[in-house]
């Protein structure tokens, strides 16, 4: 029982010490501190080939290699497009560069343009 009391007391004291240190530092001193935000994981551009365009549903079928940022192997598949107007510049057989992200559980082409 005494060991349990000691453990509880040690836990309470360590929490109090952390709170005291934070209070002594003050919010004004923290505003000048450099905080490292997690680096975003931007979608890299991937090479592909247009195999179909469905403007009515805002989808494009692409044949592509691996898309590392979403963990997808190479394949041919139809994908949602975040900007359906971007499909106006494409036709079947076009070589393209595109970026993809998983948005609300749906693999979505966020950028697409003819390859140069």
Q: What is the pLDDT of residues 69-110, one digit of tens each?
A: 999 999 999 999 999 999 999 999 999 999 999 999 999 999
Under CATH, domain 46-114 is a member of which superfamily? Copper binding periplasmic protein CusF (2.40.50.320)
Concatenate the DSSP letters of all residues of 69-92 into one string.
Answer: GGTB-SEEEEEEES-GGGGGG--T
3-state secondary structure of 98: strand
For 44-80, what is each residue's pLDDT tens digit?
899 999 999 999 999 999 999 999 999 999 999 999 9
What length does the chain have?
116
Of 91 and 34, more confident: 91
How sure is the predictor about 38, in pLDDT bands with cuts at 50, 70 and 90?
very low
Alpha-carbon distance of 61 to 76, in angstroms, equals: 7
Domain boundaries, the chain: 1-35, 46-114
DSSP assignments along 12-65, one per residue: HHHHHHHHHHHHHH-HHHHTTS---PPPP-PPPPEEEEEEEEETTTTEEEEEE-
Q: How many CB atoms lie within 10 A of CB 83?
A: 13
pLDDT greater at residue 96 or residue 18: 96
């Amino acid at each position: 029982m005494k060991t349990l009391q000691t453990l509880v007391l040690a836990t309470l004291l360590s929490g109090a010490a952390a709170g005291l240190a934070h209070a002594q530092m003050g919010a004004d001193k923290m505003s000048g501190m450099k905080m490292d935000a997690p680096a975003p994981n931007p979608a890299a551009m991937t090479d592909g080939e247009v195999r179909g365009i469905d403007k009515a549903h805002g989808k494009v079928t692409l044949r592509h290699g691996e898309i590392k940022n979403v963990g997808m192997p190479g394949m041919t598949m139809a994908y949602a497009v975040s900007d359906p107007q971007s499909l106006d510049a494409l036709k079947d057989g076009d070589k393209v560069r595109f970026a993809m992200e998983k948005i609300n559980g749906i693999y979505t082409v966020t950028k697409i343009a003819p390859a140069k």
